[in-house]
Structure 1
Amino acid sequence: MAQGRSEESGRGDGSGGGDRGEEAAAPGPRAHAPAETGEHPGVPAASVMAAAEHRAQRTPFPGTGRLNYFTLGFTGALGVLTAWLLVQALIGAQGLFVNILVALFLAVGLNPVIESLHRRGLPRWAAILTVCVALIAFVTGFVWTLVPPLTQQFGEFIANAPDYVRRLGDNRFLGDLERRFHVLEQAQQFVSSADFGQRVFGGVFGFGQAVLNSLIATFTVLVLTLFFMASLPGITEVAYRLVPRSRRARVRELGDEIIARVGGYIGGQLLVALIGGVVALVFLTAIGSGYALTLALVVAVTALIPLIGTTIGALAATLAVGLGDLRLGAVTLVFFLVYQQIESYVIAPRVMRRSVDVAPTVTITAALLGGALLGLVGALIAIPVAAAVTLVLKQVVFPRLDER
């Protein structure tokens, strides 16, 4: 009996051991099953996370179950306000940007002169100082010769204005208008009134303020030009370092060529303007003009303006001479018309042939587009920019297109 119980217990132990072995072996396959979450029993955690990510993608603002239109509108309005403030800041600083652009343009254009003086033995700082002194002397001389005649002529016009109005009554046509509408009588009362001087003073004050602003802008440009000329090699070196090393040599070659062409263009324009000023000085002195030097400087400075500069200078000289003598004014107009043709077809092409290789159509288009965008400054820098773009097209873009 005991032996039977021991066998049964042995069998029971064996079966029990077998059951425990089965139970121990059972969790093996379940170990590969996805883990379940407490919030969603029976749902794998990966499915819950995928659903959460899907909801986050559908909801613009994580953490909310619906679209918050107020927050969306406020964010959009804040972005528009920021963009508007940025545009207003750029518009307010437009004058400063123009001065910086002109100064950089002058520094690049005068760099060949500095390099030439440096090759002749002057240190770079001495060459820069020499060029700056020459610029300051030219600007000072131009202002000194221009302001006194204008002031004198304006003062004489104000003093003789009533007499001019009275003389107009001697004309038959104007006399008829005076009898019908009393135009000259009202003009005589206006120039003879006490308010005339005050109004003229207000105009002179506004003109003086404009002149002062121009002088400040000129001084700013000169100072910036000085700094740009001193640091131009460092600026170009930093710009070249921004290019990957594999292309740096090619970019350096193109950049140096562009700087050389811009300098050649400015040098050529200065030479053409100098020739025009000397020719105008000789002619105006020969006809006995009392403002020959002033008008010659005006012709030289306006000749720097592309396309229309020579015409503006010719009209200014013709008007100044014609006010004193109509015959001499007509002779002056004919002289400048002839010289303008010689300059356009003989002098300028020979001077600019080696500096700027740009088609005439591109030159005219670039000057007009630059003038429309930035006014006089845009017209001045448009042709060098067109020359740089043309150089890049010929040496980079077109060869790559031909290889394909």
Structure 2
Amino acid sequence: MSPGSHAVALPDGGDGPQRPNYFLLGFVGALGVLTAWLLVQALVGARAVLVYILVALFLAVGLNPVIEGLRSRARMPRWGAILTVCLTMVLFLVVFFWTIVPPLTEQVTSFATNLPDTLNDLQNTPFFADLERRYDLLDKFEGLVTAPDFGQQLFGGLVGVGQVVFNSLFATFTVLILTLFFMASLPGILDVSYRLVPRSSRDGVRRIGDEIVRRIGAFIAGQLVVAALGGVVAFLFLWAIGSAYALTLALVVGVTALIPLVGTTIGALVASLAVALGSPLLGLVTLVFFLIYQQIESYVIAPRVMRHAVDVTPTVNITAALVGGALMGLVGALLAIPTAAALTLILKQVVFPRLERR
């Protein structure tokens, strides 16, 4: 060692490298894992609320073009346009339930009233007599009804149905209230979101964001056009064949048509089964009619409307709806197509131009 050099002592007093504190590393790692697990559990617990917020925000963004149209054409203030849209939504829900509940109650009451006569008629048929001889259906049914826990099971089933109805009404009311608040504060939400972006990129982000909002609104408008057209066609056909519940079934067909991919099929099956209860032949004719119309809607009407609305190819629409439905169910299927439209817009206006400049 030269006279001018100085030896530096290590913190542990030795000359080798300092050993890491494995206990501290393990403790910090375990704390991070615990924090992540608690965050995941919190998100899972609040999943329903997050879905309500997401659906309400989607509806608010989608209905914003309608509000802006009322402001520009009818010269309404924003609060007046929002109130008009909300009253229209509430009126539609009232009319929908008003047309659904009385026929459903009538059918259930008629079924319960005619059940003894129906069972007596079934007992006199050779087919039912053969089943009774082989499987003792009446004895098994009597044993099920006279079982000690039958009342408890029946009450539990009724409570479960009532809970489902209550949860559905609560979810609908919550989404409507959240949609109202989001529609009222949407310009402020968008402005704050744009201000989070650096000033140099703010104009471009604002342009893309406004286009995404416009496309979501166009998607909802296109979906409503397709659903309304399906409901009108269903009403005209059901009225032509003399169905007593033409308006009710047409509203069911129109509402279910809002569900991507499978909505029209669900509405067609419900309408066909309802018609078949009165006349099996007319029920079969109804099913054939809706199958033909579904092909026209799927390959002619919907692709043109949706391509004009969101500018996304049908292949991407179908793929997005399937993936969204697999991840989040019905809500995911509804949100998947506008999400795909937004991602397509970002790819075309941001990602691809940057790749071309390299």
Give the structure-1-normalised TM-score: 0.81
Output the CA distance in 2 between the equivalents of 1:83 and 1:142.
44
Output the CA distance in 2 between the equivalents of 1:237 and 1:299.
39
Output the CA distance in 2 between the equivalents of 1:169 and 1:79.
68
- The answer to whether 1:105 aligns with 2:66 is no
**TM-aligned CA deviation for residue 321 of structure 1:** 0.7
Correspondence 1:104-143 to 2 at 5 A: 104-120=57-73, 121-143=75-97
- The answer to whether 1:58 aligns with 2:19 is yes
Figure out how many residues of one structure are paired with residues of the other and give that number: 356
Correspondence 1:300-339 to 2 at 5 A: 300-339=254-293
Correspondence 1:12-23 to 2 at 5 A: none
Tell me the equivalent position of 1:216.
Answer: 170
Output the CA distance in 1 between the equivalents of 2:108 and 2:155.
12
- The answer to whether 1:243 aligns with 2:232 is no
SS in 2 for 1:355: helix
Tell me the equivalent position of 2:9.
Answer: 48
Aligned partner of 1:403: which letter?
R
Output the CA distance in 2 between the equivalents of 1:163 and 1:83.
62
**TM-aligned CA deviation for residue 188 of structure 1:** 4.8
SS in 2 for 1:375: helix
Q: Deviations over 1:185-234 (max 9, x none)?
A: 32255458897676444423321211111101100000100111111111
**TM-aligned CA deviation for residue 151 of structure 1:** 2.7
| 2:188 corresponds to which of 224, 234, 237 | 234
**TM-aligned CA deviation for residue 351 of structure 1:** 2.3
Kindly indicate whether structure 1 or structure 2 has the higher relative contact order, using CA contacts under 8 Å at least 6 residues apart: 2
Output the CA distance in 2 between the equivalents of 1:380 and 1:125.
27
- The answer to whether 1:272 aligns with 2:226 is yes
Q: Deviations over 1:105-155 (max 9, x none)?
A: 000100000000011211111001100111111112212221232233233
The question of whether the paired residues in 1 share the 8 Å contact of 2:9 and 2:15 is answered with no
| Structure 1 residues 52 and 126: CA distance shift in structure 2, 3 A | farther
Output the CA distance in 1 between the equivalents of 2:217 and 2:85.
14
Larger radius of gyration, structure 1 or 2? 1
Tell me the equivalent position of 1:146.
Answer: 100
- The answer to whether 1:169 aligns with 2:123 is yes
Output the CA distance in 2 between the equivalents of 1:53 and 1:374.
59
Output the CA distance in 2 between the equivalents of 1:145 and 1:310.
20
The question of whether the paired residues in 2 share the 8 Å contact of 1:162 and 1:191 is answered with no
Q: Deviations over 1:337-373 (max 9, x none)?
A: 1221222233223322321111121111100000011
SS in 1 for 2:278: coil
Tell me the equivalent position of 1:87.
Answer: 40
**TM-aligned CA deviation for residue 184 of structure 1:** 3.0
The question of whether the paired residues in 2 share the 8 Å contact of 1:109 and 1:265 is answered with yes
Aligned partner of 1:226: which letter?
L
Q: CA RMSD in A?
A: 2.6
- Structure 2 residues not aligned, in runs of 5+: none
**TM-aligned CA deviation for residue 336 of structure 1:** 1.0
Tell me the equivalent position of 1:285.
Answer: 239
Q: Deviations over 1:286-325 (max 9, x none)?
A: 2222222211111011000111111110000001110111
Tell me the equivalent position of 1:369.
Answer: 323
**TM-aligned CA deviation for residue 54 of structure 1:** 8.6
Identity over the aligned pairs, expressed in percent? 65
The question of whether the paired residues in 2 share the 8 Å contact of 1:165 and 1:187 is answered with no
| 1:297 corresponds to which of 251, 254, 262 | 251
The question of whether the paired residues in 2 share the 8 Å contact of 1:161 and 1:191 is answered with no
| Structure 1 residues 196 and 291: CA distance shift in structure 2, 3 A | farther
Output the CA distance in 2 between the equivalents of 1:131 and 1:52.
77
**TM-aligned CA deviation for residue 84 of structure 1:** 2.4
- Structure 1 residues not aligned, in runs of 5+: 1-31, 35-42, 61-66
**TM-aligned CA deviation for residue 55 of structure 1:** 7.7
| Structure 1 residues 287 and 53: CA distance shift in structure 2, 3 A | farther
Output the CA distance in 2 between the equivalents of 1:58 and 1:161.
83
Aligned partner of 2:133: which letter?
R
Output the CA distance in 1 between the equivalents of 2:329 and 2:116.
38
Output the CA distance in 1 between the equivalents of 2:300 and 2:158.
42
| Structure 1 residues 174 and 256: CA distance shift in structure 2, 3 A | same
SS in 1 for 2:197: coil
| Structure 1 residues 162 and 233: CA distance shift in structure 2, 3 A | same
Correspondence 1:339-350 to 2 at 5 A: 339-350=293-304
Tell me the equivalent position of 2:136.
Answer: 182
